[in-house]
Amino acid sequence: MFLGPQNVWKGVKRPRIKLVIFGGGFLLQLCFLKIISSYPSKVEALYSSLFYPYLFSFQSTFFNFFSFSLGDLFYAVAFILLMIYLIRSIIFKRLFSKTILIDLLIALNLIYFFFYLSWGLNYYRIPLYKKLNYDLNYSESELENTLIHYVEVTNILLEKLTQSNDLPVETPYNKPELLSLIKKEYKVPYADFQALRPLGKNSLWSLTISYAGYAGYLNPFTLESQINRLLPKLSFVTTAAHEMAHQFGIAAEDEANYIAFYSLVDHSDEYLRFAAHAFALRYLYYEYSKTNTNESAKRIRDQINPGLLKNFKVLSEFWNQYRNPFEPYLKKVYNRFLIANNQKKGLKSYNAMVGYLVAYHRENHTIENIEQEKNLILD
């Protein structure tokens, strides 16, 4: 017997229909991500190098009109609306009803969809090291040689900027000026995005993210890069460059770290070059200290100028003042997020930049180039 549309749905509750539709939609999204993770070349060609540049160009043109972060404002409004919704649900005793839970599921489903559409699929593109033909494997001697190089060059830059080896570098620019300098010469090591310009803004939630242990973040819906305005200037520079790399579709954290370094290391401004070298030195030294004896690590540390150690101390003291019991749990959540998005090392992926630094050093720093670089700095 044929059943008309009304008879088919008769007796079926609407919440159940919503649950089937959006639950099924979520499973389809998971299946889609699982499938495309095996086809990075397709993601690169169709999304990261074709669709995403146009999306970023359009959105950056629009959001450049606003000096403040619309993305942060959007989060604030969304949070307020959620609170109102939950309070109304409590008042009318509907907080744990099926309807409320299904509505929240629908909202999460839509957020999940638009996250990957607007930016998240970049997690599944071709890895940067393949595009650059970098070998990220390195020996202990290569790591040590690279570290010593950055100790020497960073020391030279510090002495030139401070006329001393005992004084920390004090950046003469304010933070809006730093953002302008970074954007002016921002570059990536391949041609896909050279015509685009990044957009960095101070986060409206700087105090909140300081307690969460975050230096910055990209809003994946507005594609604005938010930087913690409370950061010391040395860290502000590299964080801004890191978040701008995310705007260029560089999703992996080690790759964004490397692009931050790459975009600053040859900058015309010496203060920004110093920030890039100090940034590289910190990651290299941390990796070296993990795999070598305390005596070896101390030998390298003793070669670092006292002024540079004072710069690093300022960074440590900044984060120490925001330590709290909730921070480790927030980091665990973010670690899970990274692992779920094709970054198997989770938070440790930030440190994986060391492989890129050694590869860059291997490719660009012959003995002749190293001496030439030092002479250029001293001129």
Shared domain check, 116 and 155: no
Amino acid at 152: E
5 inside domain:
no
Percent of the chain scoring above 90 in pLDDT: 54
2 inside domain:
no
Shared domain check, 160 and 118: no
In this prediction the pTM is 0.88
**CA quadruple 126, 131, 132, 133: dihedral sign:** positive
Predicted confidence (pLDDT) at residue 196 exceeds the cutoff of 70: no
Those residues whose C-beta lies under 8 Å from the C-beta of residue 265, and which sit 6 or more positions away, are: 273, 276, 277, 280
370 inside domain:
yes
Domain boundary among 66, 93, 124: 124
Predicted pLDDT of residue 4: 46
- Measured CA to CA, the distance from residue 17 to residue 4 in angstroms comes to 17
- Measured CA to CA, the distance from residue 165 to residue 240 in angstroms comes to 27
- On the 0-12 / 13-18 / 19+ scale of CB atoms within 10 A, 255 is buried
330 confidence band (pLDDT: 50, 70, 90): confident
Domain boundary among 92, 124, 156: 124
Shared domain check, 267 and 239: yes
Task: Please compute the mean of the pLDDT values over residues 250-256 and round it to a whole number.
Answer: 95
281 inside domain:
yes
Shared domain check, 139 and 105: no
Side-chain half-sphere CA neighbours of 203 within 13 A: 24
Those residues whose C-beta lies under 8 Å from the C-beta of residue 8, and which sit 6 or more positions away, are: none
Predicted confidence (pLDDT) at residue 194 exceeds the cutoff of 70: no
42 inside domain:
yes
Shared domain check, 374 and 287: yes
Shared domain check, 25 and 101: yes
Shared domain check, 151 and 114: no
- Measured CA to CA, the distance from residue 370 to residue 280 in angstroms comes to 16
Shared domain check, 223 and 360: yes
Q: Could you tell me the residue range of the domain that residue 79 belongs to?
A: 13-124
138 inside domain:
yes
Percent of the chain scoring above 70 in pLDDT: 87
Shared domain check, 138 and 25: no
- On the 0-12 / 13-18 / 19+ scale of CB atoms within 10 A, 278 is buried
Predicted pLDDT of residue 27: 81
Residues 160/270, Cβ–Cβ less than 8 Å? yes
Q: How many CB atoms lie within 10 A of CB 308?
A: 26
Shared domain check, 137 and 85: no
185 inside domain:
yes
44-47: Cβ within 8 A, 24+ apart:
44/125, 44/126, 47/121, 47/122, 47/125
Instruction: Kindly report the average pLDDT of the chain as a whole number.
Output: 86
Predicted pLDDT of residue 94: 65
The tokens describing 124, both together, are 């599944």
Domain boundary among 79, 99, 124: 124
**Total tally of structural domains belonging to the chain:** 2
Shared domain check, 208 and 92: no
Backbone angles phi, psi at 5, to 5 degrees: -55, -40
Q: Which residues pair with 201 in a beta bridge?
A: 226
Predicted pLDDT of residue 78: 86
Shared domain check, 351 and 286: yes
Task: Please compute the mean of the pLDDT values over residues 167-185 and round it to a whole number.
Answer: 93
Residues 239/231, Cβ–Cβ less than 8 Å? yes
50 inside domain:
yes
The pairing of strands 200-202 and 216-218 is: unpaired
